[in-house]
Amino acid sequence: MLVIGVLLALMGFIFYGGLFVWFRRFYSKSLTPPYSAHDLLDICNKSVSASHAVLSSLAGIAITTNIGDDIKFETVWVTNTFAWFGFPYFMYDLWCMFHVYRHHGMNEGLSLSKQLNTFVAANPVMIIHHIVLFFVAFPLTVHYRKNMGDYFVGCFYLAELSTPFVSIRAIMSKRGMKNSLLYVINGVVMMVSFFVCRVCVFPYLYYTYSIYAKIPISKVR
């Protein structure tokens, strides 16, 4: 499984990097009027982010809908397969965020080390978030949980369901669409999906496990 996992991880790196290149070529030809290098790269980055979120959500749906009554021990092949393929996204995204940051007007002309220092200073939370997911959540998912709790991993994959709407909102903002009805509708869907998938999911998981284990929800640990 390790060899297959490493191959999946390499495929993930290539996929997300290749998708970024494809979006860059596509938007370079289709977006009018022409955008600055920074804005174009940022839109490409947001598009890849939305694509990853869609894949994560589809994986979450596939997992949660294929688990039966035993939510603790039943397994679905998608769980670890997507972990190996999808978690490299966070390392790709760190590189891409820095790549976009370098093309901001205020950073042009600075040395690479200076750009890196200012990037880290400007984005500490996001950098820590990505590093923790890759170096902590990833090994927990593929190794330390010992194939238990696929259902719960699937629910966490579904937490990405709100991300496409966050990315679309940012892209629409760059395109000057803040006053459009579509922008408002997307914002409402973004807030609802964020609340359901990133807030309500935790009490739901506690409740689901309490039913499975036949214990009061207050005793779930």
Q: Which residue segment(s) compose the domain that 184 sits in?
A: 1-214
pLDDT digits 0-9 by tens, 49-66: 999 999 999 999 999 999
CA angle 79, 45, 186 (to 5 degrees): 80
Is 74 inside any structural domain? yes
Give the 3-state secondary structure of residue 142: helix
Virtual torsion, Cα 59, 60, 65, 68, nearest 10 deg: 110
pTM of the model: 0.92
Is 28 inside any structural domain? yes
The total number of structural domains that make up the chain: 1
Is 143 inside any structural domain? yes
Q: Tell me what pLDDT residue 35 has.
A: 84
For the chain, which ranges sit under pLDDT 70?
none
pLDDT digits 0-9 by tens, 167-188: 999 999 988 899 999 999 999 9
Is 219 inside any structural domain? no
Q: Tell me what pLDDT residue 26 has.
A: 94
Is 47 inside any structural domain? yes
Q: Tell me what pLDDT residue 218 has.
A: 83
Is 160 inside any structural domain? yes
Is 220 inside any structural domain? no
Cβ–Cβ under 8 Å, residues 59 and 157: yes
Q: Tell me what pLDDT residue 112 has.
A: 86
CA atoms of 92 and 99, how far apart (whole Å): 10
Q: Tell me what pLDDT residue 219 has.
A: 84
Q: Tell me what pLDDT residue 110 has.
A: 80
CA atoms of 26 and 55, how far apart (whole Å): 20
Is 221 inside any structural domain? no
